[in-house]
Amino acid sequence: MSTKFSEEFIRRIPKTDLHVHLDGSLRIPTLIELARKDGVKLPSFEEAGLKELVFKKSYADLREYLQGFIYTVAVMQNAENLERMACELAEDNLAEGVRYMEVRFAPQLHCRPGFTLPQIVRAVCQGMDRAKREHNNRPEVKNEQDVPFEYGLIACAMRSFNEHMSPYYAQILQVMSYAPRKEIYATASLEMARAAVDLAHHEGLPVVGFDLAGEEAGYPAVGHREAYLYAHRHFLKKTVHAGEAYGPESIFQAITECHANRIGHGTFLFAADMIRDPDIEDAEAYVRHLADYIASQRISLEVCLTSNLQTTPSIRSVGEHPLRKMIEHGLSVCLNTDNRLVSDTTVSHELQIAADNIPMTPHQFRNLVIGGFKGSFFPGSYSAKRAYVRQVVRRYQTLEKELLGAAST
């Protein structure tokens, strides 16, 4: 299917990435270089070898998809490496027109004696700030011929973990060895939420949200309710990986029990056949009411097309992805990479494959792009966010008129 939206147009318009994991978005040459320096053993020290053995075009399931993080996290254990990775991630996004991004990562994966949570988050901020300064000092930005770069950080808790994932997790498992595993996971999440609030409100760092990541099936978000309540009571915005490997009930739980402002993925929002609660007598009505509620409350869905295709065998093509149904239902949707390295993608690519495979009017496509800015957990005031979004819209409209002409009306 031909597209109304050219590659040049998609590359040049201001874009967002609200769902991008730092540990899934390294440059392969950087991973190899740092692994050699730090003595980390990789399955291959050649880019082609890593693409064949680890970072593939397709994966059997989400569990295989997550295997590559063993190697990326292993080289993210000091401030110098984290700062470099964050800077390179921002540079890669800036090069393709991304002007706002929210980088999510789990600081507890990198925490160890002598390397504290504040130090970890500051290192990521320093890398992001370096790229931000370079871009925002460009003449095009100062002359308002380009949009300034802004970012926020999202602190991730993990649905589950083991002692091999980090010294922090090993310690909490040892200290709480008397407790059930799910209680230990919940305790770690609450500690992460408390740290995130402190970093945002007392340290003044751009920690804008709290998330729950990791394998969804078998580890419901409700088990981390206290962490989300803490974030909620302290005005920290919340997103939850939900509906990625489980059905509509997971999304409902994220909204009602965890007060989610956004949903990560939401792939199975419309999958009435996945509902398991015997008390839900009319599954289709349940899904319809859920979708209507999400639409009316403008709870944004962070859709990651390529990632979903790689981890969800039941979705065989972009055309089969529920994105089209989400748009038709008037839901607030934005497209994201999830993991630039693991999924071998960019924001521009995500928008291009959506435009090529899902019929959209210029108005719908504009909503898809601008929706990322509107749904962001912007680190400034609400009035500052509105001013920033207006600047983005003006830039988008200028490029729309220049490159699409009559097709944009």
pLDDT at 2: 42
List 244, 249, 302, 400, catalytic entry:
244
pLDDT at 103: 98
Query: What is the total residue count of the chain?
Result: 409
What's the token pair of residue 307?
């990632």
- Whether 64 is catalytic is no
pLDDT at 218: 83
SS3 210: strand
Rounded to an integer, what distance in angstroms lies between the CA atom of residue 109 and that of residue 398?
43
User: What are the strands, taking DSSP E only, across 270-324?
Assistant: 300-303
Closest of 257, 239, 51 to residue 152, by C-alpha: 239
pLDDT at 243: 85
Rounded to an integer, what distance in angstroms lies between the CA atom of residue 188 and that of residue 202?
21
* DSSP labels, 354-373: HHHHS---HHHHHHHHHHHH
Alpha-helical regions (H) of 257-296: 283-296
pLDDT at 326: 97
Determine contact, residues 273/242, Cβ cutoff 8 Å: no
pLDDT at 407: 55
Domains annotated on the chain, with CATH: 7-408 (3.20.20.140)
Residues with Cβ within 8 Å of residue 313, at least 6 apart in sequence:
61
Backbone φ and ψ of 79, nearest 5°: -65, -40
Cα dihedral 321, 393, 97, 260, rounded to 10, equals -50
Q: Per-residue pLDDT for the chain (409 aa), expressed as one digit of tens each? A: 344 899 999 999 999 999 999 999 999 999 999 999 999 999 999 999 999 999 998 888 777 888 899 999 999 999 999 999 999 999 999 999 999 999 999 999 999 999 999 999 999 999 999 999 999 999 999 999 999 999 999 999 999 999 999 999 999 999 999 999 999 999 999 999 999 999 999 999 999 999 998 878 788 999 999 999 999 999 999 999 998 878 899 999 999 999 999 999 999 999 999 999 999 999 999 999 999 999 999 999 999 999 999 988 889 999 999 999 999 999 999 999 999 999 999 999 999 999 999 999 999 999 999 999 999 999 999 999 999 999 999 999 999 999 988 555 5
Rounded to an integer, what distance in angstroms lies between the CA atom of residue 387 and that of residue 147?
12
Residues with Cβ within 8 Å of residue 150, at least 6 apart in sequence:
99, 100, 132, 378, 379, 380, 388
Rounded to an integer, what distance in angstroms lies between the CA atom of residue 140 and that of residue 62?
42
pLDDT at 1: 39
Residues with Cβ within 8 Å of residue 400, at least 6 apart in sequence:
9, 13, 362, 366, 408
Strands 262-265 and 237-242: parallel
